Amino acid sequence: MNSSRKGWTDSEEKLLIETVDSFVAKGFTKKAAFQEAAEKMNRTTATCSHHYYAIRKKNAMAADSSPLTLQACIHFLKNMQQPDTLPGENERLQQEKKEVLHDQKKLKGRYESLLKKQKKLQHLLSILKEAEHYGEASSKPVIH
C-alpha cells in the first residue's frame, strides 16, 4: 500500500516528468507512465497524475508571463510585414488550382475515351472468340 506523504521534492518532480515524457515518446499511455512513476516513488497513480498536470499548468502559466524581449518584438514586426505577400501567394495558388483542374478535366476525358476503346476492343475480341469457336465446330468433318 502506498503511504500518504505531503510535498514533492524537485528530484521526484523531475522523475515524474521524465517518466511520463519517456513513456509517451515510446508510444505508451500516460496512465501507464503514472503507474510506473507511482511504483518508483511509492505514491498513488492518482497523486502522480494530479501532480503531473499541476506541474504542466504551472509551467505553462510561467511561460505565458515571460517578459517581452527586444528580439521577440523584432520577430513580431518582421512577421507583420509578411501578410503583404499573402495576396500574391493566394493569387498564385488560385492559378495553380485552375491549372490542376484543367489537367484533371483533360485526363478525365482521355480516361473516358480509353474506356470506350477498351470496351470496343473487348467486344471485338468476344466476336473473334465466338467466330473461332464457330469455325472450330464447323471444320469438323461431317460423317454421313
DSSP labels, 48-77: HHHHHHHHHHHHHHHHHTPPPPHHHHHHHH
Query: How many angstroms separate the first and last alpha carbons of the chain?
Result: 104
**67 φ/ψ angles, rounded to the nearest 5 degrees:** -70, 150
Phi, psi of 143 (to 5 degrees): -95, 120
In tens digits, what is the pLDDT along the chain, a chain of 144 residues?
455 567 899 999 999 999 999 999 999 999 999 999 999 999 999 999 999 999 998 888 777 666 778 888 888 787 776 666 678 888 899 999 999 999 999 999 999 999 999 999 999 999 999 988 887 766 666 576
* Single-letter residue type at 70: L
